[in-house]
Amino acid sequence: MNLTTIDWVVLMAAVVVGSAVQGSLGFGLNVVVAPVAAVVDPALVPAPLLVLATVHVAAMAWSERRSLVIGPVAWVLLGRLPGVAVAVLVLATVTKDTIEVLFGVMLLAVTGLSMYRRGFSRRRSLMVGAGFVSGVTGTAVAVGGPPIALALADSERARAEITSVVVIGTSMSLLAVTASGQLGSDDLGVAAVLLPALAAGFVLSRPLVGRLDRHATRAGIHLVAACAATVVLVRGLF
């Protein structure tokens, strides 16, 4: 990857913002970073971003280990496991553009339905479905947080539950990408250079933790999910 100084500055700015968003809501790092990275160099998606996401959620899980919950994890991961496997196969046969268009349309529809009907997202069958979609898109295009966040948006402990699921799910996607030979030394090098920006965003998010009530968190989840759907859909189309 031959990145210019401007490319690095743009990437670092995106990582700082994305890291701060994820630190506040429990997801959102690659919602911000993936579209920017795809414009700078398509080779940056998904491997280096999955490395960054794994480091970030691991830091979140450690700093908030006393508040993590297990409740919804099993249901979401029940869908995430086959989703990751499907993504590895899909990457070899279907273009990322097609995946992004389908994901964008689906996510916009689910976001609208979740905003309209409270409690809709807490059904176990839909949590399994969210886990499956997250496994596919998180592995294929490095944006797997929104489906999980929407599935848990109505919880009183949404942020803790999202973090609990994402830390495991992101690690699974990274392992799958590594096992399929899509993670190389260049990817690790890019991730290493961007780590300071990741840390800066994480630190900036700390003052917001605990200050966002349930309603503000729910609104933030829907806003970021809608933005993610729009950006990914446009990216896939054009």
Handedness of CA 190, 196, 199, 205 (dihedral sign): negative
Handedness of CA 210, 213, 216, 222 (dihedral sign): positive
**Orientation of helix 158-179 relative to helix 73-91, angle to 10°:** 30
Structure confidence at residue 119 (pLDDT): 52
pTM: 0.82
DSSP 238: -
Structure confidence at residue 136 (pLDDT): 86
Handedness of CA 104, 109, 115, 120 (dihedral sign): negative
Structure confidence at residue 96 (pLDDT): 74
Structure confidence at residue 203 (pLDDT): 95
State both tokens at 215.
Answer: 């309603």
Rounded CA-CA distance 34/63 in Å is: 25
Rounded CA-CA distance 180/168 in Å is: 19
Structure confidence at residue 125 (pLDDT): 81
DSSP assignment of 150-209: HHTTTSTTHHHHHHHHHHHHHHHHHHHHHHTT---HHHHHHHHHHHHHHHHHHHHHGGGT
Rounded CA-CA distance 93/116 in Å is: 36
Structure confidence at residue 129 (pLDDT): 87
Rounded CA-CA distance 160/72 in Å is: 11
Structure confidence at residue 122 (pLDDT): 55
Query: What's the residue count for the chain?
Result: 238
End-to-end CA distance of the chain: 23
Domain ranges of the chain: 5-237
Rounded CA-CA distance 101/9 in Å is: 28
Structure confidence at residue 196 (pLDDT): 97
E-state strands within the chain: none
Identify whether 46 is preceded by a cis peptide bond (ω within 30 of 0).
yes
Rounded CA-CA distance 167/238 in Å is: 31
Which pLDDT tens digit goes with each residue over 132-168? 988 888 888 778 889 888 888 877 778 888 888 888 8
Which pLDDT tens digit goes with each residue over 108-133? 887 877 777 665 555 678 788 888 98
Give, for all 238 residues of the chain, the pLDDT tens digit.
Answer: 789 999 999 999 999 999 999 999 999 998 899 889 988 998 898 899 999 999 999 998 888 777 777 767 788 888 988 998 888 888 778 887 888 888 888 788 878 777 776 655 556 787 888 889 888 888 887 788 898 888 888 777 788 888 888 888 888 889 988 988 889 999 999 999 999 999 999 999 988 877 887 888 889 999 999 998 898 888 888 7
Structure confidence at residue 48 (pLDDT): 94
Rounded CA-CA distance 163/178 in Å is: 22
